[in-house]
Amino acid sequence: MAADAAHLIVFANEKGGSGKSTTAVHVAVALAAAGRRVAAIDLDTRQRTLARYMENRAATARRQAVDLPMPVAETFDPDKGHHINDRIDALAADAEIVVIDTPGRDDVHARAAIERADTLVTPINDSFIDLDLIGQVDPETYKIRRPSFYAELVWDARKVRAKADGGTVDWVVLRNRLQHVEARNMRRVAAALGELSKRVGFRVIPGLSERVIYRELFPKGLTLLDLAAIGEPGIAHIAARQELREMVSALSLPDWPMKRAANG
């Protein structure tokens, strides 16, 4: 990646319900709130969760006459005859960071985006059901038997990226925490992830907790960084906001610590 090129963050997971779009929205807004020029593209033309979130956000800003940090956002429509790489290039021309939210299924456009990622974020819930996406686990020992199809897909994408421009993909597995998962199972998942990360080559960082407030914020398009617009934030909102800030910091994006310090 050239020094002046936009940094591409791709959120991808072929299993639904992992918090992928919610995390993508919060990261995009957090970066915009920190003064970065952010563009976002939603590749899921059916669900359009990221795009609808941003539409709700723009409507709230107009309705309440408040200034909310807003990434430039669009939905990719393959029926218009555009290639995904052309749309990424168009957004990257005026942005420092491009956030790409992919559908929760195998998709040719998502694969193309992964091949261009600088940071690939795969959110998973803290369970063996989600872990099975990237690694098969022995039912007796809970040891990793072998990487799964998605890990192989990422491996192939990394080879394509290296061949194309010599770049590398920082693969980050984001552990979102489920409230109903018992502690022993969480430790087993953590151990299996640690073993798999060494074999496949990804980083593991803590994600977001399963909180009702994330779902409640969607209709207004607000995030945990918009506490002033929420009205009467509680302790849960403040705790979740800190959790979000720590997660974004753990992504280790270019210049983020410096920007974060400068913006408090």
Residue 225 within a domain: yes
Name the more confident of 141 and 260: 141
Residue 2 within a domain: no
Weakest mean pLDDT among 32-36, 239-243, 244-248, 255-259:
255-259
Weakest mean pLDDT among 19-33, 34-48, 119-133, 199-213:
199-213
Weakest mean pLDDT among 85-94, 178-187, 245-254:
178-187
pLDDT of residue 181: 57
Q: How confident is the model at residue 231 (pLDDT cuts 50, 70, 90)?
A: confident
pLDDT of residue 193: 92
Tens-digit pLDDT profile for residues 205-230: 988 886 778 888 899 999 988 887 77
Residue 263 within a domain: no
Q: Residue 154 sits in a domain of what CATH number?
A: 3.40.50.300
Say how many C-beta atoms besides its own lie within 10 A of residue 67's C-beta: 8
| Whole-angstrom distance, CA of residue 264 vs CA of residue 248 | 14
Residue 92 within a domain: yes
| Mean pLDDT, rounded, for 142-163 | 92
pLDDT exceeds 70 at position 101: yes
Q: Which residues of 170-201 are buried (b: 16+ CB within 10 A; e: fewer)?
A: bbbbbbbebeeeeeeeeeebeebbeebbeebe
pLDDT of residue 1: 41
Q: How confident is the model at residue 3 (pLDDT cuts 50, 70, 90)?
A: very low
E strand or H helix that includes residue 213: helix 212-217
pLDDT of residue 8: 97
Name the more confident of 158 and 183: 158
pTM of the full predicted structure? 0.90
Cβ partners under 8 Å of residue 171, min gap 6: 120, 122, 154, 158, 200, 201, 202, 203
Instruction: Transcribe 101-123 into DSSP letters.
Output: E--SS--HHHHHHHTT-SEEEEE
**Distance between first and last Cα of the chain:** 29
Bridge partners of 203, per DSSP, are 172
> Are the C-beta atoms of 74 and 91 separated by less than 8 Å?
yes
| Whole-number percent of the chain with pLDDT over 90 | 61
DSSP state of 205: E
| Whole-angstrom distance, CA of residue 165 vs CA of residue 1 | 7
Residue 1 within a domain: no
pLDDT of residue 178: 62
pLDDT exceeds 50 at position 182: yes
Mean pLDDT across the chain, nearest whole number? 88
Q: Which two tokens stand for residue 237?
A: 């909102």
pLDDT exceeds 80 at position 258: no
pLDDT exceeds 60 at position 121: yes
Residue 23: which domain range?
Answer: 7-258
Residue 131 within a domain: yes
Tens-digit pLDDT profile for residues 65-100: 999 999 999 999 988 888 999 999 999 999 999 999
Residue in 238, 27, 222, 11 with CA at minimum distance from that of residue 119: 11
E strand or H helix that includes residue 23: helix 20-33
| Whole-angstrom distance, CA of residue 256 vs CA of residue 260 | 6
Residue 25 within a domain: yes
Beta strands, E only, 35-79? 38-42, 72-75
Tell me how many domains the chain contains.
1
Residue 120 within a domain: yes
